[in-house]
Amino acid sequence: MELEYVLAVSVAFAGLIWRAMSLAVLGIIAVTLHIVLYRLTLHPLAKVPGPKWAAISNFWYARQIAKGKMAQLGLEMHRKYGDIVRVGPNEVWFNTTEAFDQIYCTGKGFEKSDFYLATALTRPTIDWKFNANFEDTLDLLSERNMKRYRLQRRLIGRVYSAANVAKYEDALTAALERIVQRLNELEGKEIDLKEWMHIITVECLGATVLSWSPGLLRDGTDWGTLSHSFQGWRRKCLFGVFPTMKKMEQLSPSLGRAFASLWAVTYRPPPTFKPFFPGVVKNIVRRLTASLKPGTPKDNRVDLLNDLIQLRNDRPEFNEVYLRKMAVTNFGAGHETVASTLTASVAMIASHNNVQKQVFLEQRTAEADDALVYASSNRFTYTKAAIREAMRLYPVVPMSLPRKTPPTGLHVNGLSVPPNTTVGCSAIALHRKEDIFGASPDLYDPGRWLCAETVDETAAATSASVRMMDKYSLSWGGGSRSCPGRNLAELLVLKVIATLFRRFEVEVAIPPDADKEAYFLLVLSGVKVKFLPRSG
């Protein structure tokens, strides 16, 4: 009798468990359906065009990131759905000047979105409200405390001014002479453009920031460092779409690793990988330590680190933490972005014979006039236009630069966007709008930037068109969050491009899918180049 009783109780208990599980599953299904229907029909963004899967879940956007589609996604979405596209349950992309003026205009209250939690250089603490709190360590890309950010920008302003970075040109000239000599030794051998532009970038940064060479030019390889950095953005972008998971990773790193593995965004560098950052940090620490020792002879090197050290001495609020972080940031923020710009510029100029000829003639004329000084120069208008046009077609950051709507929301183009919604403009789509950048915006044409130089009855109108293109370009970031190192980067890019095309005839082979893979960063891949020394 006891056995039958036990069996009866067990069966009854199992039935209860089964019913409870069934109810739980039905509850989950009901809640899921409720969320789906709400996001598709009743959500404030429900009428915004876009993929239905994107409206339902961020998984759609995350999948595009995992596939590396950030270079083309903006173009595809806006061409298919129009100037306003919903790409997530709570995210909208705009491709209009009216939206740009509000989202990226200083003082409008559109702060960087939670996407930038994933790009932060330091680990935050997570409080009981599940908010991420960062120490004040100077992180110009990811800083979202605007009071802190404005102070940091004001502090470093004098060091990165055009007038100050001009004095680094001699160091660049010396570095480029070594670079030209090394390229001559290749005797026109076909090489990978992306890797060599990265080598040149890191060598030039080493010369201007630290008066130091990382040895990449000597080795003839970047040891996989650009590829490592590029693939790192894949992981960061994915976690940027799921900022809650990024916070969870701070509490449990193993959870973050599992999530990254689930999405297959974990990058393992090859055995030959050799980072150059340890050398950068070692040199910075050595010089900072020496600068603090009493009786140390004055360091007369003309480089950026010396200026940052002097800034610390003059302005106590520019503390030791700021100094160390800013010194490294020149490499961290510069090595990828400048390499991307150089790769696009060389590829575009070299693949258009008429453009390459014009750039060469402009440099040769300046050389004959003994005027090969590039800093603060009003010359080289065509070379600058050729670079700007390459940056327009292939911006360093092709995807939307996400911002968060303020408490007042966003009211533009007939749409009312609620507060705390992620909004932005896709650089690669905005840069190809005919009403901003003129006819045939998909074509490479440096002439579109030379309008201001035209001397005829249309000069005023064409000058206005150039000002418009400058205003709505995201090549250097958006609004008050534009690149703080722009003056240094512009000098470096202009001088490298001018030197390469003055000293070499350049041939490139660009595969049709060179921009197929991109994340937060776009670097043309698979482009092969030959640097053929010019005679005379």
- Tokens 């019913």: give the residue: 19
Distance from the Cα of residue 222 to its chain's centroid:
20
- Does 105 belong to an annotated binding site? no
Strands 410-412 and 415-417: antiparallel
CA distance 170 to 107: 39
Question: Do 36 and 56 meet the contact criterion of CB atoms below 8 Å apart?
Answer: yes
Closest CA to 205 of 453, 404, 485, 1: 485
Question: Do 57 and 64 meet the contact criterion of CB atoms below 8 Å apart?
Answer: no
118, two tokens: 């994933």
Using the Cα atoms of residue 347, residue 351, residue 355 and residue 359 in order, give the sign of their dihedral: positive
Question: Do 193 and 343 meet the contact criterion of CB atoms below 8 Å apart?
Answer: yes
**DSSP string of 189-254, one letter each residue:** --EEHHHHHHHHHHHHHIIIIIS---SHHHHTS-TTHHHHHHHHHHHHHHHHH-HHHHHHHHH-HH
Beta bridge mates, 93: 85, 424
**DSSP string of 351-414, one letter each residue:** T-HHHHHHHHHHHHHHHHTT----TT-S--HHHHHHHHHHHHHS-SS-SB--EE--TT-EEETT
CA distance 114 to 132: 10
Output b/e per residue, 290-302; b: 16+ Cβ within 10 A: ebeeeeeeeeeee
Question: Do 400 and 430 meet the contact criterion of CB atoms below 8 Å apart?
Answer: no
Cβ neighbourhood burial of 249 (10 Å; 0-12, 13-18, 19+)? buried
Collapsed DSSP state (helix, strand, coil) of residue 14: helix
Look up residue 26 and give its amino acid: L
Collapsed DSSP state (helix, strand, coil) of residue 22: helix
CA distance 437 to 466: 8
Beta bridge mates, 529: 191, 508
DSSP at 57:
-
Look up residue 200 and give its amino acid: I
In angstroms, what CA-CA distances link 142 with 112, 114, 116, 137? 8, 9, 5, 11
Strands 422-425 and 91-94: parallel
Per the annotation, where are the binding residues? 483
Per the annotation, where are the binding residues for heme? 483
